[in-house]
Chains A and B, each alone.
Chain A
Amino acid sequence: MKAFRRGLVVAFIALLAGAIVRLRGKGTVQPTSGGWRELEGPDFR
């Protein structure tokens, strides 16, 4: 019974942590690939 209760506590904590991570990760993170290049040339593009 004690092990069962411990299991429940662990599962609850895991769910809570998952929810926090999920909430924090809700921003619009777009898939990106590429890099930054310094502006140059006469038009500075």
Chain B
Amino acid sequence: MNVRPETQGPTVLLAGVGAVGARAARQLVDTDGIGRVVLAERRPDQRRTALDSLGERAVALDDPYGDWPDDIAIVVSALPASGDGRLARVAIERGVPFVSGTEDADTIDELLALQPIARASGVSVVIGCGLAPGLSDVLARHAASALEDVDEVHIARVGTSGPASVATMKRALRERPREWRDGSWHEGRRRPTRELVWFPEPVGGRDCDAVASGIALLQRQFPDAQRLTIRYGEGEDSPGWRRAGDAAAWGAARVEVWGRRGRARDSIVYGVVERTAVATGTMLAVVAGSMLGALDLGRPAGPGVFAASEFLEPVPLLTELSRRGVKAATFEGVGGESPATSPRG
């Protein structure tokens, strides 16, 4: 390991410095109250590039699963989905909190299944720290706090953050979609789920298909809702995924929450547009900063597996993200009727 001078504050192990990891590393290094950032990356060129750009507070490690420095206070994973489960188990064994930005449905299920051993070990495992799932769920909770009852939440997302993210999104679109309707799970057919969704500019309108990714986390937070859906669409004018995985391309999330306000049924629509890798990397760093006490964004997570939106307060979190350039917006105007009451339901 390449050792550089110690700095004040806890040490973060950041696994993977691809498109997301590089952004997370920058955000972690720029967070007061965090000491060193240990970059665990097997690809030497990526490791060297990240190390050179981050300065004195970053050190490098070539194997995220091998020996760690003794002072690791938290593990932040920006690995491809397939690496998250294994790394989470290593972190739990070593008694170190774990934060993941995974968007893969199977990996989310795998991490949720670690609940018993995480609790028994007294370790926090935090998932849902990406654009969607992640920031979208925070916006859904924020919208829900303005309503008395929530009966529907519809999340849509476009954009990818690198080759691994493209593979995850393609798989999500190939697999059967899943939605929560009237208290039970429904698996839909593939194609008839396509719907045009309007995101903030410059993304605009995109065709999106229902998926299963992230729906389990959303249902944990809105168990009494009548209908929950998540849709994915192709990114920046990329029919056939021509530009898919381009870290410079725009990503976006749109959150539509329906419920009761007073005696009327009402909806709140929030959206965010950002480079997907930037949004995910910033979310990862902010969640890790909160868990380390470097940022005050809500109560700390207890032992077990949680989505970030389950324990962090939306307003401080959105304020911190905005301060770092990830800004959310609200749609003001006439947004039509709820998808549940529309002919295609």
| A binding-site residues for B, Cβ under 8 Å | 26-39, 42-45
Contacts and interface: CB of A to CB of B under 8 A. Distances in A.
Contact of B201 (A36, A39, A45): A36
A44 B201 contact: no
Interface stretch (B235-243, B300-308, B331-339): B331-339
A33 B146 contact: no
B337 A30 contact: yes
A28 B344 contact: yes
Interface of B: 142, 146, 194-196, 198, 200-201, 207, 270-271, 314-315, 318-319, 322, 327-337, 339, 342-344
Nearest to B342: A28
Instruction: State the main secondary structure of chain A at its contact with B.
Output: loop
Given A28-B339, A36-B331, A39-B270, 13 more contacts: A30-B342, A31-B336, A32-B334, A33-B334, A36-B271, A36-B329, A37-B329, A39-B328, A39-B330, A43-B315, A44-B315, A44-B319, A44-B322
B229 to A, nearest CB: 12
Given A27-B344, A39-B318, A43-B315, A34 B332 contact: yes
A44 B195 contact: no
Contact of A28 (B195, B332, B334): B195
Given A38-B327, A39-B329, A27 B195 contact: yes
Nearest to A26: B344
A35 B196 contact: no
